[in-house]
Amino acid sequence: MALLSIVLPAYNEEQNISNTARVLSGMLTENQIEYELVFISDGSRDGTFEEIRKEAERDPRIKGAEFSRNFGKEAGIFAGLAMASGDAVIVMDCDLQHPPGAIPEMWKKWKEGAEIVEGIKKSRGKESLGHKLSAGLFYKIMSRLIKMDMNASSDFKLLDRKVVDVLLGLPERNTFFRALTFWSGFRTETVSYEVQERQYGESKWSFFSLMKYAVANATSFSTLPLQLVTVMGMISILFSIILAVQTLVKYLMGTAVEGFTTVILLILIIGGFLMLSLGIIGHYIARIYEEVKGRPKYIISKVTDNVQGSVLGAWKR
């Protein structure tokens, strides 16, 4: 019988672990789906991993690991994929904002031949105005940068084992899971869902963390920001040509005056373009620096007792 693995990255989700395990276990058992739940605590500062350990002791189909520090959601997803042993793997949020009710439909589409089943949001659910605006800006930026429609996309998706193996085989350290599944090119189906309200806790994403996440993922997946440097250079040259022609015409007409204001504006415009260009190039150099060092995406400091095989940096207590 086919096995379904569900990967659940968690950061300071102590209150949600038990409820999530109970809801998912009940739903999967009811639908007669053989399963395992893989929780990854991303360097949580609360009792998230202790709750994971308790659930693993209660049910051998639940296992988990904890990072030595906070490595980010991308690292949590890839650690979960590495630990998952299922024929198909679903990645979803630990807070159940990705509805468990959509899983049977995903599973059905996979059994019918789909290699990736993409969860598509019908709406973003109930959010504060600030969070909704920042999330909207984030997805617009990402869609433009990577040339894919990311507005309705999410990390909620099912992957066939062959897709998981392809993603785990990628040598890059800076990954963007959501876009890499598009890039992989496997047969894809979609499932629509409504974003659910959190049972416990609050979202860990702020405006600044979303923007930082957008910049990091854009520079790790797309070269478009580098092309913007060329565009800004062309705009700067165009401004220079127009002002040069204007200055020459005034000189020949004998109406030339000291252009102090023009000089200041030129310095500010060109200086702004230069600093922005250096910043963009700097982000790419940082990505290259991180890739060249070859450090692992994450370090696991603890695993539950039922984790089999070797796990990077893992130890048990």
List the pLDDT tens digit at each of the 317 positions of the chain: 799 999 999 998 998 999 999 999 999 999 999 999 999 999 999 899 999 999 999 999 999 999 999 998 889 999 999 999 999 999 999 988 899 999 999 999 999 999 999 998 876 555 555 555 655 666 666 666 656 666 657 789 999 999 999 999 988 888 888 888 888 889 999 999 888 776 655 655 556 666 666 666 666 666 666 667 777 777 777 777 777 677 677 667 766 555 556 676 677 677 777 877 787 787 778 778 777 888 888 999 989 988 876 666 665 54
Contacts of 139 (CB under 8 A, 6+ apart): 150, 151, 153
Backbone torsions φ then ψ of 38, nearest 5 degrees:
-115, 105
Q: What is the pLDDT of residue 286?
A: 78
Confirm if 182 and 222 have CB atoms less than 8 A apart.
no
pTM, 2 dp: 0.75
- Two structure tokens written together for 302: 């603890």
- The secondary element (H helix, E strand) that includes residue 193 is strand 188-194
DSSP structure class, residue 12: S
What does the pLDDT read at residue 241? 73
